[in-house]
Amino acid sequence: MIKALSAKEVAKRVVEGSMFILDVRNEGDYKDWRIEGKGIESINRPYFDLIDGVEDVLEHLPKEEVLVVCAKEGSSIMVAEMLDEAGIKDVYYLEGGMKSWSEYLMPVKLGDLKDGGSIYQFNRIGKGCLSYLVESNGEAAIIDSARTIEAYEDFAKENNLEIKHMIDTHLHADHISGGRRLSEKTGATYWLPPKDADEVTFSFAALEEGNDITIGNTKIEIQPLYTPGHTIGSTSMIVDGQFLLSGDILFVDSIGRPDLAGKAEDWVSDLRDSLYNKYNNLSKDLVVLPAHFGKISELDEKGAVSAPLGELFEKNDGLNIKNEDEFRRAVTENLPPQPNAYQEIRQTNMGKIDPTNDEQREMEIGPNRCAITE
């Protein structure tokens, strides 16, 4: 009997376990984007090559514990059943396929705040997107929300939290923000940097320096810091004097790309100024919490992604380019491909187009690709 494995269970294996994966999507999709991890081994054999039988692939598989993965689930069930019949013990398929994998959010507690309350990272491990929930005294703020808002709603319900603020550090190009939808549903205030919101079709509160946001009675402060470069509006946030939410400006292993809103050359100097001056003047003890990770190796043993700012100034190549021309080349030339459907995603986040659920899911397929390196 084959068994379904949920994205949540697979995420657990990615963070701390091991798994052998037979990915039966077509070669292009596999090359582009797949499940990876320290203990994950995977091979690709399209399901359409296995319709007549799995004999050829058997010699490449372990005798037990194989997870079959496809785009939506159907083909993986077909192939998993064939492997089961061929005698492999414990054959699993990924429930909901890569579609579910792309959407699963894993909440990880990062730490406590000074006057009570805590901060969580929601790791969208399949796409490399990181969002945050700050809670104190029954109130919550969510930063850079994913499209699938149910994860935050469930979390708020379980922990008796009222969602008061939805905040986006910038207008996203790689995923559809859940900020507007969840604020409409809960009555929360939706904060956006005004310089990224010229063309939006809905009302919002201005995320700007000076407009601090407090949560709960204990005055957890969220201080916006204008750091343009990835987009012209990109705004970082210092939470509780401890954490630096860097959005898509600074990642653990790389830095943000300035081209997704079509202004690479114009924004190079903004990006450099934000990173090399504004960030450099901040306390090096701040813990950087970016909006993305690039490689699964950036995850710690709990599955969280973070690093002290001081450490990044030592180790992150993007923060250590002395020469300005060299920096310009690094952030404008030989960039990875753009995220899937990034133009349509930006339009959706501005409220200009309103794709169906299925279309939105389709638009978000693939890795985030918001950094200058892959």
Partner 1 sequence: MSIKVDHVLDCKGLSCPLPIVRTKKVMDQLQAGQVIEVQATDKGSLADIQGWARNTGNQYLGTKEDGDVLKHYLRKSNPGEVKEAAKFEHTIQNDELEKVLAENKEDMLLLDVREPAEYEFKRIPGAVSIPLGELESKIETLDKNKEIHVICRTGSRSDMAAQMLAENGFQRVKNVLPGMVEWNGPTE
Catalytic residues: 70
46 contributes a contact to partner 1 by CB under 8 A: yes
Query: Which CB, 93 or 132, lies closer to partner 1?
Result: 93
Tokens of 281: 């003047």
44 contributes a contact to partner 1 by CB under 8 A: no
Element (H, E) at 347: helix 342-349
49 contributes a contact to partner 1 by CB under 8 A: yes
Q: What share of the chain is helix, strand, coil (3-state, %, to 5)?
A: 30, 25, 45
Query: Which CB, 39 or 74, lies closer to partner 1?
Result: 74
DSSP states of 157-182 as a string? Answer: HHTT-EEEEEE-SS--SSS--SHHHH
78 contributes a contact to partner 1 by CB under 8 A: yes
**Minimum distance from residue 48 beta carbon to partner 1 (Å):** 4
Cα distances (Å, whole numbers) of residue 227 to 37, 209, 235, 271: 32, 10, 5, 7
> Which strand ranges, in their side-by-side order, compose the sheet holding 205-206?
106-112, 118-124, 129-136, 139-143, 162-167, 189-192, 205-206
Options 44-52, 144-152, 288-296, 330-338: segment touching partner 1 (CB under 8 A): 44-52
Residue 366 near residue 32, CB atoms below 8 Å: yes
**Minimum distance from residue 77 beta carbon to partner 1 (Å):** 9
Residue type, 193: P
Query: Which CB, 71 or 249, lies closer to partner 1?
Result: 71
81 contributes a contact to partner 1 by CB under 8 A: no
Options 70-78, 116-124, 137-145, 195-203: segment touching partner 1 (CB under 8 A): 70-78
Binding mask 330-369 for partner 1 (x = CB under 8 A): --------------------------------x-------
Among 53, 74, 87, 337, which residue interacts with partner 1 (rule: CB under 8 A)? 74
Q: What backbone torsions phi and psi does residue 203 show, to the nearest 5 degrees?
A: -90, 155
Residue type, 318: G
263 contributes a contact to partner 1 by CB under 8 A: no
Interface with partner 1 (CB under 8 A), residue total 16
Tokens of 95: 């429930």
**Minimum distance from residue 78 beta carbon to partner 1 (Å):** 5
CA distance 196 to 211: 16
101 contributes a contact to partner 1 by CB under 8 A: no
Residues between 3 and 42 with contacts to partner 1, criterion CB under 8 A: 26-29
Q: What backbone torsions phi and psi does residue 97 show, to the nearest 5 degrees?
A: 65, -160
53 contributes a contact to partner 1 by CB under 8 A: no
Residues that bind partner 1 (CB under 8 A): 26-29, 46-49, 51, 70-72, 74-75, 78, 362
